[in-house]
Amino acid sequence: MRRIGIVSVLGRKYDVYVGETSDESHMAEYYADEQKIIVSPKYKRQQHSLYHELGHLFWQEVGFGQLRGIAILEEVFCQIFASFMEENFDKLVGLKDKLDK
């Protein structure tokens, strides 16, 4: 497993790794207790997988994980979040650069 960076969400830091997931069918996995995300190198859409797991991280950090019976809503949120980030990341970085000027 290779550590590729750190993300910070609401003051907590999470390590991001590329490596084997515990289940071969998972493109990525988020471990709240260990504060890490693992992205499998086997899939072409690694960026999307990372963003999907970041969606889970946000979901848990804002407290929605305490709500019961809405697991499907969490998955929908994570897919939408991942798609938004994948489609707009470069644009968001460009906008940040322009705002910083």
Cβ atoms of 11 and 21 closer than 8 Å: no
What's the confidence (pLDDT) of residue 71?
A: 87
Residue 78's domain comprises 2-100
pLDDT tens by residue, the chain, 101 residues: 999 999 998 889 999 999 999 999 999 999 999 999 999 999 889 999 999 999 999 999 998 988 888 889 999 999 999 999 999 999 999 999 999 98
Q: What is the CATH number of the domain that holds 15?
A: 1.10.10
Compute the Cα dihedral for 49, 12, 84, 77 and give only its sign.
Answer: positive
The whole-angstrom separation of Cα 98 and Cα 56 is: 30
Split into its structural domains, the chain has a count of 1
- Determine the 3-state secondary structure of 100 from DSSP: helix
